[in-house]
Amino acid sequence: MTVLTFVDTNVLIYAHDAQAGRKGEIAAAELRTLWDSGEGVVSVQVLQEFFVNALRKLHPPVPVAQLREILRVYRVWVRTPTSPATVLRATEIMELAAVSFWDSLIVAAAEESGAGVLLSEDLQHGQVIAGVRVVNPFLG
């Protein structure tokens, strides 16, 4: 059975960070697995956050042209556009799950895309929010 997996920004960042060590290896392996299975999902928010954070925080810096190519690669993982309905759903998730608006927007996008799993270190591992199970791939 295919289970779509939504990838949070931090996983993409680690996978493309030359200084990320073990977390970078784990993130890159997770992304390879998702490419091979065709089960990877991201949102436009994730792509935006990846670009800004990679540009500002990665050392050595990643050239803008290279970041643009990475965005082109991952854009095929955007399965549903972020809409006003996504934002409204995020406000509901924020209240129900007591998580930040931005994390709620990630969960709402994962839910809309039909993902059953959310790879993230930003939310509680094992927690199920709006039918999406949070998995922190860096534990253990």
Model confidence pLDDT, tens digit, residues 38-90: 999 999 999 999 999 999 999 888 899 999 999 999 999 999 999 999 999 99
Q: What is the pLDDT of residues 114-140, one digit of tens each?
A: 999 999 999 999 999 999 999 999 997
Q: Return the pLDDT at 2.
A: 82
- Residue 20 pLDDT > 80: yes
Identity of residue 130: A
121 in any annotated domain: yes
Q: What is the pTM of this model?
A: 0.95
* 1 has pLDDT over 90: no
**Structural domain includes residue 66:** yes
59, part of any domain: yes
Q: Give the residue-averaged pLDDT of 81-100.
A: 97
For residue 61, the Cα-to-chain-centroid distance in whole angstroms is: 21
CATH of the domain at 92: 3.40.50.1010
Domain that holds residue 128: 5-135
pLDDT at 60: 86
Residue 140 resides in a domain: no
Q: Name the domain count of the chain.
A: 1
How far apart, in whole angstroms, are the C-alpha atoms of residue 14 and residue 20?
A: 6
Asked if residue 124 belongs to a domain, the reply is yes
Q: pLDDT at position 129, please?
A: 98
Between CA 55 and CA 70 the distance in angstroms is: 12
